[in-house]
Chain A
Amino acid sequence: MSNSNEKITLFSNMQMWYHKHVIHFMMIFIFTGLPILSHSFSWIAYLIGVPISVFYSTAEPTYVGIEICRALHRITAMLWIALSIPFTFSMIFKKWHLAFRKRKDESWKTYVTEELADMKTMYIDFSYPKRAGKYNFGQIAAGLAVIVFGLIMIISGLFLWFRVSLDSTTVSIMRLLHDIGFTVFVIFLIIHIYLAIHPVNKAGYNAMFRDGKDDLEHAKKKHPGMFVK
């Protein structure tokens, strides 16, 4: 079949820019957060701390490393929040219905069963789905999780930043939420990164990182639900 070369835009410039920065932020968050999470990762703090503590006569490398991790974690948090504000604004005006395709007359059971079937089709059979929209069911669920747990991380993180002025129980609960959120994020990232670089997603990968576009014909096959009125 002939290559029509007509493109549709899957991701706006804003989305691509934000996504690239978020990748860097997440790497820093994980790297700098692990030493404070558990002493199993104190070697990370140690590695960072050793060169810096050369400038202090009596400081312990681990201590210096954790202080630096803390500072970087907080700076990154500020940057992430700063970038998320314009991003959130832009997202509010998007066409969410392109993703969420439950028809008004169908039951939840039908919707979920068919969407799950579509996911199997895509990822197990490696063929085209019947009704999935811009995002399949799993991607919608993951996206919602990122939004919810992202907010949880930000709010609990801010509480933890100012923990010296708060009572112990509140701080302990915030830490618990931050831990849970972190776990969810890591699980999400493993799956997300894997599927992002999976051959089945080559077009999506190119769209996100190159020009934001995909061939219209391909998109119609891949995301039929996007084109249903």
Chain B
Amino acid sequence: MSYDKMAVCYDTQSCIKCFACVISCSTENRMRLQRDYNYTVEKSMVEEQPHLNYLRVEVNEKGKFPNVSQIAAFKHCQHCDNPKCMEICPALAISKKETGAVVINQERCVGCQACKDVCPYDVPVFSKDTGKTYKCTMCHDRLTAGMQTACAVACPSVAIFSGKQEEVISEARKRAEHYSKVFNKEYFVYGADKVNDTVGTLSYMTIAPVENRDDYLLPADPSSGVAGGREITKVIGTAAIIGTAAAVAGHAVYSAVKLSGKDEHKENENE
């Protein structure tokens, strides 16, 4: 079967911070434990298992009373078009599906956390209990079953919506335009256009006011930080190794030629 390219969008303006999406994701993952591993819900629903909360919220206060703004940033996997995590995973556990979802195959994950190092959005979460790393799967199983993602179906104010990519982008742009008009400042759809070469476009987009992009954790130029340095090392290192091997091969040829023309040259030979 082949699947359409899908997308999800989070609208910071109509979000009412009820956390229904966070809980919905959390419970859906526990249902998945029962479905896939027979680990039943009467156990998992009453256990912490914090790594199963793929959606996180970070609240930051800015300013001083009474001119204080309190912004709850929604932290979730962006499902980049160019997933750095997929590139780096040594166990080949991460793949980008047809739907656009970037999914970690938990059976392959070795818990090295290389994906966590390289993610420009600090998304993957490691669990000490299971020794593996987890992140949002864009409810790839629900999307391919014709359902909405667990977060989208939970939202009482339709602030998260999922569906075919063109439809989601079109609705998102419509909303951004409307907000820009009503609130007299520019709203944009983060991820609908290419963010930068590192990540590309995003399958899980966000509508937010441009001037607050940093509060909502929507960087203009996401980078892999230290892990990016590793990538460069690998490239330079490989080049250096190949260079060395080439030089050595060259010297070997040179030695062969030079030494055969000097076969009277005695090293350790007895005479």
Q: CB within 8 Å of B: which residues of A?
A: 1, 3, 35-39, 41-42, 45, 58-60, 62-63, 66-67, 70, 123, 126, 163-164, 168-169, 171-173, 175-176, 179-180, 182-183, 186-187, 190-191, 194, 198-200, 202-203, 206, 215, 218
User: Is B15 an interface residue when CB atoms closer than 8 A count as contact?
Assistant: no
Q: Are B244 and A190 in contact (CB under 8 A)?
A: yes
Determine the main DSSP class of A at the interface with B.
helix
Q: Are A179 and B265 in contact (CB under 8 A)?
A: no
Residue from the list B91, B128, B226 in contact with A42, Cβ < 8 A: B91
Q: Are B110 and A168 in contact (CB under 8 A)?
A: no
A35 to B265, CA, bound (A): 46
The count of chain B contact residues (Cβ–Cβ below 8 Å) is 45
Q: Are B110 and A66 in contact (CB under 8 A)?
A: yes
User: Is B217 an interface residue when CB atoms closer than 8 A count as contact?
Assistant: no
A191 to B243, CA, bound (A): 11
User: Is B267 an interface residue when CB atoms closer than 8 A count as contact?
Assistant: yes
Q: Are B270 and A3 in contact (CB under 8 A)?
A: yes
User: Is B126 an interface residue when CB atoms closer than 8 A count as contact?
Assistant: yes
Residue from the list A66, A180, A206 in contact with B90, Cβ < 8 A: A66
Stretch of B5-13, B27-35, B47-55, B245-253 on the interface side: B245-253
Q: Are A183 and B90 in contact (CB under 8 A)?
A: no
Q: List 21 A-B contacts (CB under 8 A).
A: A35-B90, A36-B90, A37-B90, A37-B234, A38-B234, A60-B107, A60-B108, A63-B110, A67-B110, A164-B128, A168-B116, A179-B233, A179-B237, A182-B237, A186-B241, A187-B241, A187-B244, A191-B244, A199-B255, A199-B267, A203-B268
Q: Nearest Cβ in chain A — how far from B131, in angstroms?
A: 8
Which residues of the partner chain A approach B110 to less than 8 Å between Cβ atoms? 36, 63, 66-67, 70
Query: Inter-chain contact count A-B, CB under 8 Å?
Result: 118
Q: Which residue of B lies closest to A194 (CB)?
A: B248
Q: Nearest Cβ in chain B — how far from A189, in angstroms?
A: 10
Q: CB within 8 Å of A: which residues of B?
A: 88-93, 105, 107-110, 112-114, 116-117, 122, 126, 128, 131, 225-227, 229-230, 233-234, 236-237, 240-241, 244-245, 248, 251-252, 255, 258-259, 262, 265, 267-268, 270-271
Q: Are B90 and A175 in contact (CB under 8 A)?
A: no
Q: Are B248 and A183 in contact (CB under 8 A)?
A: no
With known contacts A63-B107, A172-B225, A38–B268 Cβ distance under 8 A: no
Q: Nearest Cβ in chain B — how far from A212, in angstroms?
A: 15
With known contacts A163-B113, A164-B128, A190–B241 Cβ distance under 8 A: yes
Q: Which residue of A lies closest to B89 (CB)?
A: A39
| A-B interface, 4 closest residue pairs, ranked by CB to CB distance from nearest | A183-B237, A172-B226, A66-B110, A172-B117
Which residues of the partner chain A approach B227 to less than 8 Å between Cβ atoms? 172, 175-176
Q: Which residue of B lies closest to A43 (CB)?
A: B92
Q: Are B268 and A202 in contact (CB under 8 A)?
A: yes
Beyond the given A179-B237, A191-B248, A194-B251, please list 16 additional residue pairs across the A-B interface where CB-CB is below 8 A.
Answer: A39-B89, A42-B92, A126-B262, A164-B126, A168-B116, A172-B117, A172-B230, A175-B117, A176-B233, A179-B230, A179-B233, A183-B233, A186-B237, A202-B268, A203-B267, A215-B268
